[in-house]
Structure formats: C-alpha cells, structure tokens
Amino acid sequence: MPQRTHLRAPADVEALIRHCAARLDDAGLAFGHGTDNAVDEAAWLVFGALGLDHADAEGAYRRPVSAADRQGVEALLSRRIDERTPLAYLLRQAWFAGLEFYVDERVLVPRSPIAELIAERFEPWVDAGTVRRIADIGTGSGCIAIALAHAFPEAVVDAVDISADALDVAAINVARHGLEARVRLIESDLFDAVPATRYELIVANPPYVDAADMASLPAEFRHEPELGLASGADGLDAVRRILAGAHERLADGGVLIGEVGNSQPALEAAFPGLAFTWLEFEHGGHGVFLLGKDDLPGATGD
C-alpha cells in the first residue's frame, strides 16, 4: 500500500527559505536581477515578504512563521514563478554599491559591475581628489549617479536619461538619498541636451544588447524596458555615439568608463584603433572599458 506523506508546513523563517529555494530551483527560473541563485533569491523573497531586518539575519532565521506569513510568501513566490517577474519589481527594492534603491518596471534592475569600481573610486585610473564634475549617461534608476555622489562627496553628478519615466524613478531615489543638491537629472538623448560642461569623469552604462541576444532573452528580462537593453543589430548604436561625443565633454585628463557587456568583441572589432583598457572585477562582471580623453576620437592628431 502506498505510504501517505504529510508535508509539514515550514515552522520558522529558515525552513520557509529552504522550502522557497526548492520551489524556485524546480521552476527553472533565470536569476541575475539582484541574486544569482535560488537560495539567495528565496532569502530575499522571505525577508521582503515578512519585512525582516537584513541587519539581524541570525535572529530573523529563528523567527517562527504563522499561517498568514506563509500565505504572504506563497503569493509572492507564485508571482515570481508564474509571471517570471524579477523579485526586485515585486518588492520594489534593489541594492547597488551597498545602497538600497526603489525600482519598478520603468527602469532596469541595477546590476552593473561598475559598482565595484565606484567602491574603489576607479583607482588607480582616476585621481579622486581632482573629480568635481561627473556625468552618468543612461542613469535609469539613478543607481550609478547616486553611488558616485556618495563615493565622491566633493563632486556634482549629472544623471542623464532619454526616458522621462526612468527619470521619475531616479528622482525618487535621489530624494531618498537626500542628494538633490548634488545629483542633477537631465532628460536627454545621450549628450544632445546636456548643458555644456567639461567632466573629469563620464560613466556610461547604456543599452548594449545586440539583436541576436535580444531575441533569446529569458522571460525575466522581458519585464525590463527594452529601451534599457536593445541597441541595434550589433548592440553598439548607443556606445558609438558616446565614443563620438565624449572627447568634447571631458576635461583635460578626464576619463570615460563604459559598459558594453557581451558586446565587447563587437566593439573591439568596430574600433580596432582605440586603445581600450578592459577593467577586471573581483566579484564578477566583464565588458567594461576605460578610455582617457586623449585616446578618444576627436583628440588632436586623429
């Protein structure tokens, strides 16, 4: 006679996280919007659903859970699995460079490896003491601009995006971080409507996904604004224009940092004469280049 098994309801937060992680694993989801595995995603989901404090994770893990707690978690878990919605959108929450941000479907979920470079203030490439004006091109949620403002307290940051919707989200985050005096939001098609300024540092995480990758994106990424991802057949539409315009926007000795991810080989092939420095990351990530003002098209002698 087949034995009947009684699945016991998870009794505490730790057991509930294990249960959620198993469900997430079975569902074959794509990660990459704040976590890269089912266990971390499950912990974030349970902490978010129950309003638990990440600063007291040990205490939170032993907290007993009620039937109502389990129901709330189950509702969120079902949406994550059935709709393939990134958890960051469901919780309206993301982290970048150790800072918390509001996010929704108007912006990409922050995940750029540039966070690691900001923490190091771009050493040894940038003399942080000289940086007073910074531009963040394609600011989205404002995460890079805001992290830059924290890392360079002497600097003002122009945060540029073509999307008014994205800038509305960035405004929420600028206010949350109390940076209205130092982060200026500018609606502009790349440099087109940016007031004439010479920046010591330009950081750009523009759209750079090529058409082939766009066609095969996992469902989670289709919840993100296409404007933040797609950039023409070879993924280089935006970065070509940034390379063409950066020289006249940089102060003498200034530096451009740009992210192109998987489009790195296409960029190198398209610009064989440019001396890209490809930056390395301790915590994962690739496809981020650095160019000095004198290396850019438009420099004397080009």
Cα–Cα dist 33/93, whole Å: 11
Which of 83, 189, 226, 280 is close enough to bind ligand SAM by CB under 6 A?
189
42 is a contact residue toward ligand SAM (CB under 6 A): no
Q: Is residue 228 near ligand SAM by the rule CB under 6 A?
A: yes
Q: Does 245 bind ligand SAM (CB under 6 A)?
A: no
Q: Strand ranges (DSSP E) for the chain?
A: 94-96, 99-101, 133-137, 156-161, 183-187, 199-204, 250-259, 277-278, 288-292
The reply to whether 227 sits near ligand SAM by the rule CB under 6 A is yes
Within residues 157-186, the interface with ligand SAM by CB under 6 A covers 160-163, 166
Q: Spell out the SS3 assignment of 50-72.
A: HCCCHHHHHHHHCCECCHHHHHH
Check residue 138 for interaction with ligand SAM (CB under 6 A): yes
User: Considering only residues 143, 149, 155, 201, which one is a binding residue for ligand SAM as defined by CB under 6 A?
Assistant: 143
User: To the nearest whole angstrom, how small is the minimum distance from the Cβ of residue 263 to ligand SAM?
Assistant: 12
Q: CA–CA separation, 199 vs 134, rounded Å?
A: 5
Q: Which stretch binds ligand SAM (CB under 6 A): 59-67, 80-88, 133-141, 172-180?
A: 133-141
206 belongs to the binding site for ligand SAM (CB under 6 A) = yes
For ligand SAM, which stretch binds (CB under 6 A), given 2-10, 140-148, 249-257, 290-298?
140-148
Strand order in the sheet with 250-259: 183-187, 156-161, 133-137, 199-204, 250-259, 288-292, 277-278
